[in-house]
Every structure is written in structure tokens, then in C-alpha cells.
Homo-oligomer: A and B are copies of this chain.
Amino acid sequence: METGRLEAFADGVFAIAATLLILDVSVRAPGAGLGQAVLHNWPEYAAYIVSFVTIGIMWINHHTCMRLIHAADRTFLVINLLLLMCIAFVPFPTNLIAAHLHDSGLRAAALTYGVNLTITALFFNLFWFYAARGRRLIAAGADPKLISGISRSYIPGAPMYGAATLVALLSATASVALYALIAFFFLLESSIFGGTPVADGA
């Protein structure tokens, strides 16, 4: 099944990219100071949570798109591949932010993270609009309101991440706070306005 394997490969990359984030959480301290060191290490946990949620939200969105997309051509496979390449890159700038939250490297780390996420959001738009344009790859019976709803909700992603990236030029801390806010905004938006249950097999 054409889209079945696309989804299996995508699920694999999403799951691995999210789970690999834990490799960057570590504390090395002598026994006597371990408690202190574990508490002091909070930037790594915060970075883990924000990036896990960010990747997870993208997985939910990918999933939402694929429920309406019932075919794939090779161009779409390539776009999907480039999107996954951006997502699998997220652990790198996440690690930079965690490592430099308390020093002057935070600006460079925040810019790297923001550029990564902005490009990812652009590829996500390309992914969706390539499929949705003229209903190229959309299932025959799909509800037009669902399609235009997704289209509307995906447009702000890239500008939001782009703006948060530019904020890093003024204040790295504000920029990092914005990345966290964007992640939790999408999380809340998903879980509160989550719509009606969708039956298995729909």
C-alpha cells in the first residue's frame, strides 16, 4: 500500500528522533553531589520536554494530513523525506540550547534551533499543499471543510517560528521562551479543541 509504507517510515523517524533526545540528558557527578547535580540539570529536562512535544505535535499533524491523503507519487515521497530530514535534525539544536542556557552561547543556539524549526515548518507547508493543491493526492470522499481547515491552520507555523528566531537577535532568552510557548500552545490547542472522536478505520 503506497501510503502505508510512507507512514511506517515516517512513524519510525518521528519515534526515533523523539526518543534519541534522551541521549542528551545525562548527569555525571560524584555520589555526594548527585542530588544537587540532578536538580541543577533542569535545562536538559526542559529542552527534552519542549523538543519531544514539538516532534510529537508534528507527528500528530502528519497523521492528520495522512488521514486525508490516500495516494503518493515520487515527488511526494521526496518532499516527505526532506521533511523527515529536518525533524531528525532537531536533537542537535536542542542539545545546544540545553548546554548553553546559562552562558553567552544561547543566542547562537537559539538561532540554530529557530532556523531548523522554521525550515521544518516550510517543508510541512510544502508537504501539505503539494498534496492538497487541486486535491492532487486527497482521498475521493474527503470533506472540503477539513481540507481548508488544515490549510488555514498550517499557514501560521513558519511565520511564528521565523519571528521567534528573529527575536533571538534581541533576546536569546525571550526567543527560547517563545519556542516553549509555541510548543505548549499547539499542545493545548490540540487537546482542548480536539474535536470529535474518529472511529477506527475511518
Q: Which residues of A line the B interface, CB within 8 A?
A: 1-9, 11-23, 25-35, 37-38, 48-49, 52-53, 56-57, 59-60, 63, 66-67, 70-79, 81-82, 84-85, 88-89, 91-92, 95-96, 99-100, 103-109, 111-112, 136-137, 139, 187, 190-202
Contacts and interface: CB of A to CB of B under 8 A. Distances in A.
A96 to B, nearest CB: 7
B137 A3 contact: no
Given A23-B20, A52-B85, A78 B60 contact: yes
A12 B56 CA distance: 13
Copies in the complex: 4
A78 B187 contact: yes
A3 B198 CA distance: 9
A12 B16 contact: yes
A125 B26 CA distance: 28
Contacts of A197: 71-73, 76, 136-137
A199 B103 contact: no
